[in-house]
């Protein structure tokens, strides 16, 4: 069973307007790289300098990867990886 990735509205033009996609992956970076194979251009929107872009929040089953192992955070079959762009305002 693969990993389900929840795609934010801003990235949907890169994923054929899909809200969710499924990929295999042993960790977050692996899943993003596999997503990049299917949907070129996604990776550059998520990763900068080998780390998650600071304005992109990535969660594995509701847990922020910044508080675990970052892009090396392990994934298991059936996990939900959620990508959320940071929102700022005043």
Domain residues for the domain of 56 are: 3-85
Residue 21 lies in a domain: yes
pLDDT at 85 over 70: yes
pLDDT (0 to 100) of residue 1: 61
What pLDDT score does 19 carry? Answer: 97
Residue 82's DSSP bridge partners are 6, 59
18: CB partners within 8 A, 6+ apart: 7, 12
Q: Domain for residue 9, yes or no?
A: yes
Share of the chain above pLDDT 90, in %: 89
Look up the CATH number of the domain holding residue 40.
3.10.20.30
Give pLDDT tens digits for 6-37.
Answer: 999 999 999 999 999 999 999 999 999 999 99
Residue 88 has pLDDT above 90, yes or no: no
Determine the distance from the C-alpha atom of residue 50 to the mean position of all C-alpha atoms in its chain, rounded to a whole number.
14
Binning the chain into helix, strand and coil, the percentages to the nearest 5 are: 30, 30, 40
Is 90 a member of any domain? no
């Amino acid at each position: 069973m693969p990993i389900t990735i929840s795609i934010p509205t801003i990235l949907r033009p890169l994923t054929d307007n899909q809200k969710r996609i499924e990929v295999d992956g042993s960790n977050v970076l692996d899943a993003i790289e596999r997503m990049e194979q299917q949907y070129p251009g996604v990776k550059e929107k998520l990763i900068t300098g080998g780390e998650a872009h600071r304005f992109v929040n990535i969660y594995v089953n509701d847990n922020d990867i910044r508080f675990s192992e970052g892009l090396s955070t392990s994934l298991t079959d059936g996990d939900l990886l959620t990508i959320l762009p940071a929102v700022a305002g005043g």
